[in-house]
Amino acid sequence: MTTDRLTIGIAIPVPEPYGSQLRSMRAAFGDPMAETVPSHVTLIPPVDYAPDELDDVYAALRRASATMPPFPMRLRGTGTFRPVSPVVFVAVSQGISYTEMLAKCVRRALDAPEPEFPFHPHVTIAHNLDDASLDRAYDELSSFECQFSVDEFALYHHDDVAGWVPQHTFALGPS
């Protein structure tokens, strides 16, 4: 029996072309995480599982995804968690309630712990940067807006070299 643990995260991927656009901007602001973190809305923060638990995780996520219908999401404008946390994000302005319900559903399905902070759906665009870079990110993306349909969420696996790699998607709604 192996004692290796896999770190996974569950998130709504931001579709193209918006995902790449936000990731490029994140890199332009000097955030090194842009190289290893695809643009996403987190549903479940990183959690560790044993490899032999993954079949159960996938089954639980399939059941959870079947209970939620697809929904529209709009990203618009910027926000920040400063001074609590040095983060600037693009705000979810439509689809907040559905995202909250989906996160709760996934969290229950995985028996995951409650988040450390209240759940606030967003797309991080700058993290742990100096104030000038955070201000620049906040200002330059303040007029950003896009809309898309959330038809699925993804399980990401953390790789020490590649970063967060999507492993599997789970379609919303009954199959």
Q: Is 90 within a domain?
A: no
Q: Is 113 within a domain?
A: yes
Task: Tell me phi and psi for residue 112, to 5 degrees.
Answer: -80, 150
pTM equals: 0.94
d(CA 93, CA 121): 9
What pLDDT is stored for residue 114 in this prediction?
84
Segment 79-104 shows an average pLDDT of: 96
Q: Is 101 within a domain?
A: yes
| Residue 79 confidence (pLDDT) above 90 | yes
Share of the chain above pLDDT 70, in %: 98
Q: Is 80 within a domain?
A: no
Which residues does 14 contact at the CB level (< 8 Å), separation at least 6? 22, 38, 39, 40, 41, 75, 123, 148
| Residue 118 confidence (pLDDT) above 90 | no
Q: Is 64 within a domain?
A: yes
d(CA 138, CA 100): 24
What pLDDT is stored for residue 3 in this prediction?
54
d(CA 24, CA 51): 33
| Residue 44 confidence (pLDDT) above 50 | yes
Segment 126-147 shows an average pLDDT of: 98
Q: Is 89 within a domain?
A: no
Residue 54: pLDDT band with limits 50, 70, 90 = very high
What pLDDT is stored for residue 115 in this prediction?
80
| Residue 1 confidence (pLDDT) above 70 | no
What pLDDT is stored for residue 4 in this prediction?
86
**Helix 18-28 × helix 131-140 angle, to 10°:** 150
Q: Is 110 within a domain?
A: yes
Number of domains in the chain: 1
| Residue 2 confidence (pLDDT) above 50 | no
Segment 120-140 shows an average pLDDT of: 97
Domain housing 59: 6-74+96-121+149-171
CB-count exposure of residue 160 (10 Å: 0-12, 13-18, 19+): exposed
CB 73 within 8 A of CB 99: yes
Q: Is the model more confident about 88 or about 84?
A: 88
CATH number of the CATH domain containing 156: 3.90.1140.10
What pLDDT is stored for residue 67 in this prediction?
96
Upstream peptide bond of 17 is cis (omega within 30 degrees of 0):
yes
